[in-house]
Amino acid sequence: MSDLIAQHADVDAADNEWLHLLVGDWQVVSDLAFADLVLWLPTREGGFVAIAQARPSTGATVHYDDIVGSMAPEGQRPQLEAALREVRAQRSREPRWFGAYAVREEAVPVVHEGRAIAVLARQTNLGSGRTPSRLELNYVEAADDIMGMIARGEYPSANGATGPRRGAPRVGDGLIRLNSEGEVLYASPNALSCFHRLGVIGPLVGQSLVEVTSGLVEHQSTVDESLPLVVMGRAAWRTDIEARGVSLSLRALPLTDQGQRIGAVLLCRDVTELRRRERELMTKDATIREIHHRVKNNLATVAALLRLQARRMDAPEARAALEEATRRVATISLVHDFLSQTLEEQVELDSMLKRALRMTADVASTRTVVRTVQEGSFGMIPAEDATPLALVLTELVTNAVEHGFPDGRESGTIRIVVERDGSQMRVVVADDGVGLGEADIAELGRQSRSGLGNQIVRTLVTNELGGSIDWRARAGGGTEVEIQVKLRDGTHRG
């Protein structure tokens, strides 16, 4: 829509925003009117271009094909021009025929700050040919009131709600018409059913809706402060009312004439099951978050116990083995700490890995100052791939520090290069240390005879990440380890 406006007309930012507000909230008008709505914008060349279109969900449509981007036909242009020039609605005296069915047309100027900036065409399919019911008559009367507001620049409401307070419920869910005092003029059968579930006995017509709802609200329950304004039709907001285990969503559309309130349209929907599922999801999310937090705490306890045990060991090899186990457990704990802060299926891993790798390099190096440098970004990683990937990288950095930089080197660098194309990821861990000989590289290729750390790395890469790993000598000295993995796409690999 923005592209069409910029292509065909010179519209300032305020008018552009007003047209977007109208299109964002006009489906309710189309449903009430049982009519297609087409927003026609005057072009620089003097014609009209369709920049938006809405079809009714309550009746037959006129345009089975999308007409957005097309120019207004010659036969319709005089009506659109008159509505724009005179700044008042223009209704055709005779219906226009679209193939086998007749269409009643009305052109309503879209007014903003006293100026007509576009024309809204209301096209009703007359093919049904049946006598309208009381419900349909009330729908159309409400639509007429809103179309009049559009022609006066009073709809949509510039101060209306956004986000979750706008939108659902829809016209077919339940409709109530109120007068200026908040008394019910008409309630559709679906609306009556909604309030009967709340505990209302008898008809609603003639009653003050705010008095009816105030008697339903339980004293101990939390009440939205906007509820009185919505049920009286004074605010274009949406709110919920809960009573006797039933949740009702209410949305008000105030009706005005020259700034004076003349009534309101209230839409309602029974959302009891929806709210129950939302509460279940919130409970499950909190449970998962708590599980991650407890796992992290338990792993931290295990790491602390291993650290204490390592300090009591006299044998250097046993102490080193326990310290390595402590580091691995601490890495898993760090990942769980990161996962406990989010419940998304995809997690951003760069910040956590930088922290883990920096800690690994600092712990593994005794006298040599080793810095880690990362090139590229891991991006969003599936949560179930985060733990094995973090363990693999910390193991590789630890091995590079321990074996690549023996005592006597003052400093060294470990470079981690990340290349990613969708789910395919290539990671190279390279150090500028003493390097590996051909015999050492051959030894690493035999999993059964390589060290425990390398066995862990190979197992995680091949089994958990479904990838491959390769050790080789680095040009210019040092060692390179290349990992190629295919990340999960959100589904579990069988």
Higher-pLDDT residue of 130 and 101 is 101
Q: Is 342's pLDDT higher than 70? A: no
pLDDT value of position 439: 63
What's the pLDDT tens digit per position in 238-272? Answer: 888 888 788 888 888 999 998 899 999 999 998 88
Handedness of CA 197, 199, 205, 207 (dihedral sign): negative
* This prediction's pTM: 0.61
Q: pLDDT band for position 494 (50/70/90)?
A: very low
Rounded CA-CA distance 35/30 in Å is: 5
Characterize 193-214 residue by residue with b for buried, 16 or more Cβ atoms within 10 angstroms of its Cβ, and e for exposed.
ebbebbebeeebeeebbbebbe
43 and 138 together in one domain: yes
| Interacting residues of 239 by C-beta distance below 8 A, sequence separation 6+ | 165, 224, 226, 227, 230, 249, 250
Q: pLDDT band for position 121 (50/70/90)?
A: very high
351 and 494 together in one domain: yes
Residues facing residue 480 across a β-bridge: 430, 472
Q: Which of 13-19's residues contact partners 24+ apart within 8 Å by CB, and which partners?
A: 14/112, 14/113, 15/112, 15/117, 18/110, 18/112, 18/117, 18/158, 19/51, 19/52, 19/110, 19/117, 19/118
140 and 168 together in one domain: no
pLDDT value of position 302: 87
Q: Is residue 47 part of a domain?
A: yes
Give residue 27's domain range. 2-152
pLDDT value of position 491: 40
136 and 186 together in one domain: no
9 and 133 together in one domain: yes
Boundary residue ending a domain (223, 241, 270): 270
Q: Is residue 158 part of a domain?
A: no
Q: Is residue 157 part of a domain?
A: no
Q: 10 Å Cβ neighbour count for 132?
A: 12
110 and 24 together in one domain: yes
Q: pLDDT band for position 448 (50/70/90)?
A: very low
What's the pLDDT tens digit per position in 86-98? Answer: 999 998 888 888 7
Give the pLDDT mean for 422-447: 74
Residue type present at position 61 = T
What's the pLDDT tens digit per position in 278-297? Answer: 778 778 777 777 777 788 78
Minimal CA–CA distance to 35: which of 116, 92, 111, 115? Answer: 92
pLDDT value of position 52: 93
Alpha helix locations (H) across 264-315?
272-311
Q: Is residue 104 part of a domain?
A: yes
Q: Is residue 491 part of a domain?
A: yes
pLDDT value of position 440: 62
CATH for 213: 3.30.450.20
Q: Is 122's pLDDT higher than 90? A: yes
pLDDT value of position 371: 79
Minimal CA–CA distance to 479: which of 469, 489, 464, 466? Answer: 469
Boundary residue ending a domain (343, 368, 384): 343
Q: 10 Å Cβ neighbour count for 379?
A: 14
Q: Is residue 213 part of a domain?
A: yes
Q: Which range, of 9-18, 114-123, 361-370, 417-426, averages the lowest pLDDT? A: 361-370
Rounded CA-CA distance 438/444 in Å is: 10
258 and 277 together in one domain: no
Higher-pLDDT residue of 179 and 225 is 179
Domains in the chain: how many in total?
A: 4
141 and 254 together in one domain: no
328 and 403 together in one domain: no
Give the pLDDT mean for 337-353: 71
Q: Is residue 259 part of a domain?
A: yes
Rounded CA-CA distance 461/392 in Å is: 7
Give the C-alpha distances (Å, rounded to integers) separating 52 from 37, 311, 316, 451.
Answer: 8, 73, 76, 66
Rounded CA-CA distance 442/454 in Å is: 13
182 and 143 together in one domain: no
pLDDT value of position 443: 61
Tell the residue number behind the tokens 């007409």, with chain if given: 67
What's the pLDDT tens digit per position in 313-325? Answer: 888 888 878 877 8
Number of alpha helices (DSSP H) and beta strands (DSSP E) in the chain: 14, 18
Q: Is 492's pLDDT higher than 50? A: no
184 and 221 together in one domain: yes
What's the chain's Rg over C-alpha atoms? 34
Mean pLDDT of the chain: 82
Rounded CA-CA distance 131/342 in Å is: 56
Q: Which range, of 60-64, 214-218, 221-225, averages the lowest pLDDT? A: 221-225
CATH for 138: 3.30.450.280
Q: Is 147's pLDDT higher than 90? A: yes
Boundary residue ending a domain (123, 152, 181): 152
CATH for 357: 3.30.565.10
Q: Is residue 351 part of a domain?
A: yes
pLDDT value of position 40: 93
Proportion of the chain above pLDDT 90, given as a percent: 23
pLDDT value of position 285: 74
25 and 111 together in one domain: yes
pLDDT value of position 130: 62
